Structure 1
């Protein structure tokens, strides 16, 4: 009986050691009160350049993304964010300058997602014109329950988003330089395998 008990304790300790060695590595890039990407690497033996974990974007009490969604492939979101960095210079701020969050949302949402009586040619033209403002809609599992857009207003960007069944429109405002620095910090972390 003692050797059986000793074996069970030994197996438990091995299991406990595996679990503690695979604890999520929590990180955040940016200032949580102003604008930050919050992420955690859930290392569970994935391919070397695939980073699985959880993430969200925060600005004070405003949160875009579901940090509680485990084992998301963060490389998907990283590729979306890289594309956004490349599109920022192409964003025409004049279209949305002085527009309310609600009006900017409606313009983009209607152009990209509204099912209406536009012709195929009109839909394609609207898609080409307004796709650059799509943020993380379909941008990874952490963002499955949300729709989001990004609008440039001179030296700042506005992130407009709705989450879950709640139809409330929320927004985050951040300087372009800060936004780009935070995103680049996250992308570098992904490139380093989430370490």
Structure 2
């Protein structure tokens, strides 16, 4: 199933064909942005629930994923800013980090919301880190070091939100099918 358009923004997902109730939704998944895939669609039996939960949260907060300090920053500057604060790297180069544990915690609290796909399931393990932002003008920017080292992948906010909603509806339908009915954890 493809939710959205590969050339703009899409979520591609499928449940494994041999699943029988009762079962969790195991399958394959990747995200497309400007024709670039993020995720290993050939990795079988991946847990899709973590991605579902994270997309649900992202849908609620995506329009708010911007800070004034990002204004005028290039893609590489944004990448280095977020990567340095959250992971202690600038691309492939480890930084000397002299921050205290409390300073690291504060940075994680402030900037962790920009993390995208990094810990969303094993299907995204091989694509490295990604970050997602949304400008006040409604342009979603995806930064992924493995795909576009000095570029940002862009999509319109309504397109991203539509893809997320379609994926969530599909996942909820699959969860009901595989569990014999609606489950409270899908609407909580």
Please state which band the TM-score falls in when normalised by the shorter chain.
0.7 to 0.9
Q: How does 1:1-195 map to 2 (within 5 A)?
A: 27-45=1-19, 48=22, 50-114=24-88, 116-145=97-126, 146-154=128-136, 155-163=138-146, 168-169=149-150, 171-193=152-174
TM-score calculated relative to the size of structure 2? 0.80
1-structure distance, mates of 2:47, 2:150: 27
2-structure distance, mates of 1:71, 1:105: 31
CA deviation digits over 1:123-168, x for unaligned, max 9?
11111110110111111111011211001112111011123xx783
User: Relative to structure 2, which stretch is displaced further, 178-187 or 44-53?
Assistant: 44-53
- Provide the alpha-carbon RMSD of the alignment: 2.1
1-structure distance, mates of 2:162, 2:67: 20
| Kept after mapping to 2: 8 A contact 1:35/1:57 | yes
2-structure distance, mates of 1:142, 1:181: 22
CA pair 46-122 structure 1, distance change in 2 beyond 3 A: farther
Q: What's the offset of the Cα at 1:83?
A: 1.6
Q: Secondary structure at the match of 1:159?
A: strand
**Matched pairs, number:** 167
Q: What's the offset of the Cα at 1:53?
A: 1.0
Aligned partner of 1:23 in structure 2 is none
Q: Secondary structure at the match of 2:129?
A: strand
Q: Secondary structure at the match of 2:145?
A: strand
1-structure distance, mates of 2:125, 2:150: 16
1-structure distance, mates of 2:142, 2:21: 32
Q: What's the offset of the Cα at 1:62?
A: 1.1
Gap runs ≥5 in structure 1: 1-26
Q: What's the offset of the Cα at 1:48?
A: 4.3
CA deviation digits over 1:36-74, x for unaligned, max 9?
111222133355462111111113431111111111111
Gap runs ≥5 in structure 2: 89-95, 178-188
